[in-house]
Structure 1
Amino acid sequence: MRAARVLLAAAGLAVLAYGLHGWLTEQPGEVPGRLRFLAAAVIVHDFVVIPLILAVGALTVRFVPAGVRLPVQAALAVSAATTVVALPFVIGAGRLADNPSAFPRSYATGLTVLLAAIWLSAGAWIAARLIRTRR
């Protein structure tokens, strides 16, 4: 077990070093901008995302019954991640007027359907828990 962990850690460090080398040597003039982006991402993560996650977690602990809390929290987490990934497509960030095929779908509809599927799955999970508890 220890040897596997050491090998995995070594492989991870090798991939990290390779990525860092490419990040610093590919278009070196962009490194300051990349460092600013990285700093902004860390600041937003630590001072916006994490406090929001903690606040939502506290609200679910306070207002959602213990028996259904895990499915609700899972659905909230998956919904948030899905929305963050889909939002640039929904708002059309980067859309060019002369290239209508760049965003060929209705991404708002797709996001809505996906969020409905996530919450329907959570509802089925809750229903299964309630049925199992009553037996």
Structure 2
Amino acid sequence: MRVLLALAGLVMLGYGGVLAWEFGSSRTINAVEGLAWFAGGPIVHDGLVAPVVGIVGLGIARVVARPWRTPVAVGVVLSAVLTLLAVPLLWRPFYVATNPGLHDRDYGTGLAIALAVVWVGVVVSGLAQRRWSRLALGRDQSSS
């Protein structure tokens, strides 16, 4: 089964390479855009995104109390992903192809509501974690 999955993956990788080659060789601007996409993405990720995420993670581990670490880390990740997904439509709302009913909304308000839901979940989860850790600590002390 692993061999079949590996072969299927290699076939898809090859097909993706063929499509990328056709795209890049069709026009010079496509080659430049393709290079920016395939090279720029990893460079930006490894040079900017990964170090920022690492520093934020270390900050969360040092500043936030233990029961709150996981909920806050999840909240930060979800907030970053939601914001990243919303940036194109916040920045240039009608730049993408229109789809009736999809683009006729206020993206800033939608993002704010989604982030509020995430952080309410973080607070609820953090309070539950804190309560659970206090109960577990109380049991440990009473059993000694």
TM-score, normalised to structure 1, is 0.83
Query: Which one of the candidate residues 12, 15, 22 is aligned to 2:12?
Result: 15
Tell me the equivalent position of 1:58: 58
Give the structure 2 partner of residue 37 of structure 1.
Answer: 37
Q: Gaps spanning 5+ residues in structure 1: where?
A: none
Match of 2:21 in 1: 24
Partner AA of 1:64 in structure 2: V
Identify unmatched segments of 5+ residues in structure 2: 136-144
Do the aligned partners of residues 5 and 122 (structure 1) sit closer, same or farther apart at CA in structure 2, a change above 3 Å counting?
Answer: farther
Secondary structure of the corresponding residue to residue 76 of structure 1 = helix
Question: What root-mean-square deviation, in Å, do the aligned CA atoms of Structure 1 and Structure 2 show?
Answer: 2.2
> Which structure has the larger Rg?
2
Q: Quote the Cα distance in structure 2 between the aligned partners of 1:95 and 1:113.
A: 23
Identity across matched positions, percent: 32
Give the superposition deviation at 1:48.
0.7
String of CA shifts for 1:96-118, please: whole Å, max 9, x gaps. Answer: 9xx8x683110000000001111
Contact 2:94 2:103 (8 Å CA) reproduced: no
Partner of 1:78: 78
Alpha-carbon displacement from aligned partner over 1:72-98 (angstroms, at most 9, x marks no partner): 1111011101101111111225549xx
Contact 1:60 1:69 survives alignment (8 Å) = yes
When normalised by structure 2's length, the TM-score is: 0.78
C-alpha distance 13-112 of structure 1, shift in aligned 2 (>3 A) = same
In the comparison of the two structures, how many residue pairs are matched? Answer: 129
